[in-house]
A and B are shown apart, each in its own frame.
Chain A
Amino acid sequence: MQIRISNSDLDPYREIQQYQAAQTHLAGKYGATTVFIGSMREMNQDDAVVKMQLEHYQGMTEQYLQGIAQRAIDKWGLLDVLIVHRVGEITPDDPIVVVAVWSAHRAAAYEANRFLMEELKSHAPFWKKETLANKQTRWVEKNTPGYSS
Chain B
Amino acid sequence: MYAQFFHDTIAKLKSMSIKVKFFARLREQFGVSELSLAADQTHTVLQVWQHSTQQPTLGLNILTAVNMQYVAADYPVKDGDEVAFFPPVTGG
- Using a CB–CB cutoff of 8 Å, the interface residues on chain A facing chain B are 38, 54-57, 59-61, 63-64, 85, 96-97, 117, 120-129, 139-143
Contact = CB atoms under 8 A, between A and B. Distances in A.
15 contacts: A38-B92, A54-B91, A60-B84, A96-B92, A121-B92, A124-B89, A125-B23, A125-B65, A125-B89, A126-B91, A127-B24, A127-B89, A128-B90, A142-B88, A143-B89
B20 to A, nearest CB: 13
Given A57-B84, A60-B68, A60-B84, A139 B24 contact: yes
* Majority DSSP secondary structure for residues of A touching B: mixed
Interface of B: 21, 23-25, 61, 63, 65, 68-70, 84, 86-92
Contact of A57 (B61, B68, B92): B68
Contact of A121 (B24, B61, B87, B91): B91
Nearest to B88: A143
Nearest to A60: B68
A32 to B, nearest CB: 22
Contact of B91 (A59, A120, A141): A120
B92 A127 contact: no
Contact of A143 (B21, B69, B90): B90
